[in-house]
Structure formats: C-alpha cells, structure tokens
Amino acid sequence: MRILALALAFCLCGCGLRPLYSGGASGQVAQSLRAVDVAPIPGRAGWLVRTALEDRLGNGEGSAPRYRLEIELDDDITGFGIRRDNSVTRERRTLRARYRLVDAERGTVLLDATAGSDAGIDVVSSEYATVAAEQTALERLAAEVADQIVTRIALYASRTGGSE
C-alpha cells in the first residue's frame, strides 16, 4: 500500500499540479487575497456576500489594500409549480454576481467575471416558513457565490504571481 501511495505521489509531481495555497498563510496566494478590499454592496444579499468574502479573504491586517473588489448582485425569486388555483408550490432563488478586481493604485480592471448559484424552495401553507426558507436560501447562496469569487481570485493570483 505504501509503495502504491509513493508511486502515485511521483506521478502527480510529474504532471505539473501544484497546491493553490502552497506556503500557507505566508504564501503568495494568501498574501494576495489579504490585499483585497471589498467595496460595499447594497442590500441584505450584498451584506451577506460582503461579510462572507471578508471572512474568506482574511483581509484587514493593517496594510493598504492592493486590490479593490467591486460587485453588482442580482437576487431573484421566481415562482413555478403552479396549481389549478394559481398558487405557487415551488420557487427558485437565484443569486448572480458580476465582479471586478481592480488594481487600487492604477484603477485598471484586472479581472472581470461572474459567479452565481440557485436554490429551490418549497412553498408551504405557512407564510412564515416560506419566508424563513427564502432567507436561509439567500444565506447559503451568498456563501456559495463568495466561495466562487475567492476561488477565481486565488487562481488569478497564482497565475499572475500577484504582480499585476
């Protein structure tokens, strides 16, 4: 078993794969992520996404940010699964983000991309339960969108070496 694991390790080394977060907290990607300042995003969805991003980026270590992250959100709830009495039985909540990573010093856009996710919501007879399900879905979607954005910025930082 040990020989198989060793052989697999040698095969992976030869294929050019390398860890994204090599070097841990002092690594180049982690340092680049800490240098991102997230601009305010309006609305409840904006607050949730911004808070999730700040948690994941680990910024605020006293140094001036090298990058600014600007985000525009589109939060939509669509009803479907219509009964004969025209009542909705199911909803889909969609959260989409268009984001731009901007060089704080030069003002140039380094990365312009989108992220998004959606969630299905059962509409039940209790209006309170439906609203609670919609809010829970928004919280989960905000975390998923933040994860997508951080991953894309980390990939960008690893490819450019944080030198853009």
User: Tell me: the pLDDT tens digits for 72-125?
Assistant: 999 999 998 888 888 889 999 999 999 999 999 999 999 999 999 999 999 998
**At the top level of CATH, which class does the domain 22-160 belong to?**
alpha beta
Q: Which residue has the tokens 């990365």?
A: 111
Q: CA-CA distances (angstroms) from residue 63 to 18, 27, 31, 37, 59?
A: 28, 16, 11, 11, 9
Q: Coil, strand or helix: which one is 86? A: coil
Residue with tokens 């731009």: 100
Query: Which ranges constitute the DSSP H helices of 35-126?
Result: 43-57
pTM, rounded to two decimals: 0.81
Find out whether 88 and 122 touch, Cβ atoms under 8 Å: no
User: Mind listing the pLDDT tens digit for each residue in 32-55?
Assistant: 889 999 999 999 999 999 999 999
